Chain A
């Protein structure tokens, strides 16, 4: 349990992706079965317990501690799970004996509803504070250590020196504690083959068009489609199994029962999940957001924002794997395949006709719908290859939106940037022209060079007017301040921000040392860009 608790804490506090991968791979290397497999299940959200509610935790601690002392403690710490893990009596014995993760999981799984509180309390009695915290987080169902299932799979790939696609492909046929998977990664057994149905097929991704790319390729070899800004999904039906996957192989079926119901075919489709009524009405990104990051969804939300799939590709046609066929053949099959599906839930991603790059560039800059973020180019003869091969697929994005904003707050970064003020909150002017004030509209922490970072850091240190922990408030007046040119992909309405807008993917595109802050943009400019 100690090892697992330590891993969780280190993952929580480690900002670097590579360091997180290293921490996980080392854990999987050092810890034996089945504990490492249970750790993997916990990290990928595949370990569940009859959930424990905060009220139960409060009741358990109330039996063990003076309520006034607990109130002081909770008030100071702020997090219930953490407070209880620290104040729980006992454990100052600091013994070396430890309960393994597998034993803890076994006891919790074996507990009936009525004796679950006693089983949990007994575990807490026997563990140290960090392990207690891990257990409480597990049973209350929220590790939140900043690790996606995808990242955990990458760590497995690093462990076994295999391609992450190999893991994604077999992942949904595996069960905790994954002994067969680890045996393969350790080189002690063959790759697990389960013959399971409706598994995920690792997706094919594109590279951005860069300078010179288009000169080297022939427009006649490529097909163009719109690049839709929804979420890339894969819908698979085999036998009785229907599954909807994200592009990283996470199963998201539960959030889209309306679409799942329409998965009435035998095959695997690659496409974009959008909301609206195809083909004529496609909802905005804000509409789509009503359906994202939900574990369950209400009937009203499904009625107001029905999910549908705009299909790009066909990976499995009946029982036939079509991935090795050229794109043009797969497209022909796709058109026939989608023709047989429910038209309120499936449509075809239209082909964009063009003759040369200049014409396509024109189309790209004036797309017919706000949810289009550019153009996709696919080589006619290319097979469907997992990953991001260079050449067969390109994305050619619409140019970003640009505004000039004023730096308002700067926060110290992490890791390599821990001595730099590297996270910037910027604002635009609002209020009457004669007495304008700045309102924050976004935060960005990349887009600048290392040299520019040094310059901004110096500016922040020289122009600090207030400090709040790691954050500094910076001089931002009409005639004194730093103007940042900010590029972003889109704008949503937001009730959480004072400005009423939230930027998507903002980054610093240029430092405007030359520009007086008074000439930065106003909030009205942003309001005019709001979708729909």
Chain B
């Protein structure tokens, strides 16, 4: 007997079931029954994670009729869906990035409030990833699945702290799902940046940081360390920084890092924040003898740092490190863990060692933390 439900066969999905053996004991039968129930509630399709009873997708990578969005990063939040349900801040960020007409219609979900979507109970809970980011809890037929989206447990002054939601099945990201990823304390990283600024006052410090979330967090952390000079930002960051300001996140004095040809200003001693790609570009030539810094969890690995030609790596991530991932899995009490985008195999192995059922979801279309 093929253990696939009819709807999955109809959708042409069968690869996900290949790692399940036929049930041979009663315990295995009971387990398979629960698993099938969970997989009836959410399972991968080429468009993204699909909920058949609620007829919606979570973070679909292609345009769909009804999408629930965890957060505003472009690989999770795409334009062109018919109906979007997300937190108010995520909706506003999508409107900033894609224009007001990013979807045919949209609905804001308040944090903690339960919304009925075709009989499925859905709720949003802070994920601590970036402003507006939320985990999505999906509950139906006595099963609760939490899709984490991207999340971190470390405190972040630019977004709400992660909220732990007990669940039966936890869908975790695995961007930094290897035991080597252990993020140091953010203030130590910013401390190294500020020390370098004082050591090399004649040079400009270029801090590469993803435009949504990381950039604002870096700026806010710099302020928390007492640096009150203007910080110069690349044009790609301006609207999002303004938006953070309207949400009550004070980033201090920001100035454009663009200059008129005629009035070349001196960037000696300045901190300049911009998307990492800009610093390899001709744009960066206006800065005197720049120190290239890059704020990312990938900066943990020296070879990555060297490959990118980064002189001052800042190990600062909006994703959970290994310790946060494993701690969260334990704390949710989930009896089953589905692992998506990242280094799934190590986290699946860890779950096996803990006696927690785990499998990779093999969702397509999500990037590593932006580089």
Contact = CB atoms under 8 A, between A and B. Distances in A.
Contact of B290 (A12, A14, A418): A418
Given A94-B185, A415-B290, A72 B307 contact: no
A72 B313 contact: no
Nearest to B181: A86
B284 A416 contact: no
Contacts of B365: none
B328 interface: no
Contact of A469 (B279, B283, B305, B307): B307
Interface residues of A, number: 43
A128 interface: yes
Contacts of A469: 307-308
A470 B181 CA distance: 24
Contacts of B290: 415-416, 418
A414 B309 contact: yes
A73 B200 contact: no
Most buried by A among B179, B181, B185: B179
Given A22-B199, A22-B200, A415-B290, A470 B307 contact: yes
Given A14-B311, A69-B346, A69-B350, A418 B284 contact: yes
26 contacts: A6-B192, A9-B302, A10-B312, A22-B200, A26-B199, A66-B349, A68-B349, A69-B179, A73-B179, A77-B180, A78-B303, A79-B303, A82-B302, A86-B180, A87-B180, A94-B185, A415-B289, A415-B311, A418-B279, A419-B279, A419-B280, A419-B282, A419-B283, A419-B284, A469-B308, A470-B308
A510 interface: no
Contacts of A353: none
Nearest to B353: A66
B292 A418 contact: yes
A183 interface: no
A129 interface: yes
A83 interface: yes
A454 to B, nearest CB: 9
A86 B181 CA distance: 7
B180 A128 contact: no
A69 B178 CA distance: 8
Contact of B349 (A12, A19, A69, A78): A69
A14 to B, nearest CB: 6
A13 interface: yes
A13 B343 contact: no
B32 interface: no
Contact of B180 (A9, A12, A73): A73
A349 B64 CA distance: 84
Nearest to B302: A82
Interface of A: 6, 9-10, 12-16, 19, 22-23, 26, 65-66, 68-70, 72-73, 76-79, 82-83, 86-87, 91-92, 94, 128-130, 412-416, 418-420, 469-470
A470 B302 contact: no
* Majority secondary structure, A binding face: helix
Nearest to B285: A419
Contacts of A9: 302, 313
Contacts of A12: 302
B193 to A, nearest CB: 12
B30 interface: no
Contacts of B140: none
Contacts of B306: 13
A415 B204 CA distance: 11
A78 B303 CA distance: 8
A6 B313 CA distance: 11
B199 A86 contact: no
A241 to B, nearest CB: 40
A416 B289 contact: yes
Contacts of B307: 469-470
A171 B306 CA distance: 33
B142 to A, nearest CB: 34
Contacts of B192: 6
Nearest to A421: B280
Interface in B100-138: none
A5 B62 CA distance: 46
B55 interface: no
Contacts of B196: 10
Contacts of A23: 199
Interface string B177-207: 0111110110000001000100110000000
Nearest to A19: B200
A129 B349 contact: no
Nearest to B345: A72
B310 interface: yes
B309 A129 contact: no
Nearest to A420: B285
B261 to A, nearest CB: 16
B29 to A, nearest CB: 29
Given A82-B302, A419-B280, 10 more contacts: A13-B305, A13-B306, A72-B343, A83-B180, A86-B180, A412-B280, A415-B290, A418-B290, A419-B282, A470-B308
A418 B178 contact: no
B323 interface: yes
Contacts of A19: 200
Nearest to B310: A13
B311 A128 contact: no
A158 to B, nearest CB: 13
Given A414-B309, A415-B311, A470-B308, A76 B185 contact: no
A72 B346 contact: yes
B282 A15 contact: no
A66 B349 CA distance: 9
